Amino acid sequence: MSKSNRDVKFIIYQVLYIFVLVVLTMKGADINLQKVLTEEEAVKKTYADSLKKYIDSMLALGLVPKIELDSLRNIADLKNFIPPQITPNMITLQTGQMVVSQSEFERLSKQEQEKLKEEMKEDVKMENIDVTPLVAAPLVQYTTNSITNRGNMPLEIYGDDGGQIASIPAGGSRSFTMGGQKTVTYKQGNQSKTVSTRENQKPKINIQPLKSGGPDASLRELQSVVGYRISIEDDFVGQLDVNIVGPVKVETKGNGVYDLVLKYAASKEQFERMTENGSSPFRASFTVTVKDKIAPHSVSRQGQYTFGEW
């Protein structure tokens, strides 16, 4: 009930109280604990309750009843009081007001109370959620990262450009490819944490000579053994594209390691034809190129064999 309705109801009850005092005064009642009225003349409680219910019904409809009291009227006449029926023609509505029955008003009030209880339950439920502290794992640029969300709320990851990189449900895992973001922001519920990413370093090419020859070395001998071992150093060797070009046979050893065997000439006659316009010592070179399939990295190095005869 609004404050204005409570004020009106208070005034009405005050008027009724004054009305009783006026009647007692006019009837000349003595304050001597004797009955002012006989039981037959008194207004029964059921009639008083009926009048009270009538007034409450009007207030529930947003109406303010006008009460005019006739102090000369016999109070016993109230025993026959019958609350009038409120019809639409008796009601003037203001903007935003509407007329509903008492039962409908009670139903709507109960519905509003139940809705308020549900909202309070939801608030308590949210307060009771055990929020797992946000863990911001370091991510590496230009490679595939895998994150497991061990919290009980969805985890979202954003790049420094504001774009979403990944969304991971509670208790789930995701793998995603990072670009060149310098920082990322983790968000989970009301928690947020920004961390720097780790740079994807350029790969390194190590060329180790095992039997690379010399001015008097035999080509036939060099072509029978491993002359060089190539090692690629990188945190993510699996995303590298390695290309070795030259008169060599490449043997892949795994994990970025390659052995090279010189294959310059298949016979002495071919050797002589290939070197007839040159002078000893002779040289055969090769080139190793490594490109990252995700990062914009590309490096290359060269190696060389030396020999003087077949």
Whether residue 203 contacts residue 292, with contact meaning beta carbons closer than 8 Å, is answered with yes
The better pLDDT of the pair 53, 191 is held by: 191
- Token pair for residue 228? 């060089």
Please tell me which residue, 130 or 24, carries the higher pLDDT value: 24
**Are 261 and 248 contacting, i.e. CB atoms less than 8 angstroms apart?**
yes
Q: Is the per-residue pLDDT at 65 higher than 80?
A: no
Calpha distance 300→232 (Å, rounded) = 11
182/73: higher pLDDT: 182
In angstroms, the CA 35 to CA 52 distance is 24
Q: What is the pLDDT of residue 127?
A: 44
CA 128 → CA 122, 153, 171, 230, 255, distances in Å? Answer: 10, 13, 19, 59, 50
Q: Does residue 198 surpass a pLDDT of 70?
A: yes
What does the alpha-carbon distance between residue 238 and residue 240 come to, in Å, rounded to a whole number? 6
The pLDDT assigned to 126 comes to 44
Rounded percentage of the chain residues whose pLDDT exceeds 70: 66
Specify the range with the lowest mean pLDDT, choosing from 25-34, 54-63, 198-207: 25-34
Residue type for 197, please? T
Per-residue confidence at 32, pLDDT binned at 50, 70, 90?
low
Using the predicted structure, report yes or no on whether residue 10 has a pLDDT greater than 60.
Answer: yes
Predicted local confidence at residue 129, as pLDDT:
47
The pLDDT score that the predictor gives to residue 72 is: 46
CA–CA distances in Å: residue 146 to residues 165, 175, 176, 180: 12, 4, 7, 16
User: What is the percent of the chain where pLDDT is above 90?
Assistant: 52
Tens of pLDDT, residue by residue over 283-297, are: 999 999 999 999 999
With cut-offs at 50, 70 and 90, classify the pLDDT of residue 110: confident
Strand partners, 289: 243, 300
pLDDT per residue as tens digits for the range 255-274: 999 999 999 999 999 999 99
**pLDDT greater than 70 at residue 100:** no
